[in-house]
Amino acid sequence: MTDPVVARVQSDPKYLELRKKRNGLGWFLTILILIVYYGYVALMAFDKPFLAQPIAPPGVTSLGIPIGFAIIVFTIVITAIYVNRANGEFDDLTQEILKDAQQ
C-alpha cells in the first residue's frame, strides 16, 4: 500500500526534475573525482620519474607533493560545489515539492 502523498510527490514534475539534477550532478562529480584520483595513482604507477622531479633544482620536494595537495584541494572544492547546489537549488525545489504535496 502506498501513501497518496508519496504517490503525488513521486509523480510531481518538480520531484522528477530534482532527482534528475541531483543525480546528474552527483554522477558527474563522482566521475570527475575518480578520474583525478585514479589518474594520480596511474601517474605514480607508470611515470614515477615525472613525479620524482624536484620542484626547484637543488630542492628536496618533488613534483608529486603539490600535485597530491592539489587533489586534496580539488576534493574540497567539488564538495563545496555540491553543498552549494544542495543548499540552494535543491533545497528550493524540495520546499516547492513539499508545499505542493501539502495542498
Q: Express each pLDDT in 67-97 by its tens digit.
A: 999 999 999 999 999 999 999 999 999 999 8
Between CA 45 and CA 36 the distance in angstroms is 14
From residue 25, give the alpha-carbon distance in Å to each of 14, 44, 80, 83: 16, 29, 13, 11
Q: What is the pLDDT of residue 46?
A: 96
Closest by CA position to 18, among listed 86, 99, 101, 79? 86
Give a yes or no: residue 85 inside a domain.
Answer: yes
Give a yes or no: residue 46 inside a domain.
Answer: yes
Q: What is the pLDDT of residue 49?
A: 92
CA dihedral 51, 52, 56, 61 (to 10 degrees): 100
CA dihedral 31, 35, 38, 42 (to 10 degrees): 150
Which domain range does residue 36 map to? 32-101
Q: Chain-wide mean pLDDT for the chain?
A: 91
Give a yes or no: residue 23 inside a domain.
Answer: no
Q: What is the pLDDT of residue 78?
A: 97
Q: How many domains does the chain have?
A: 1
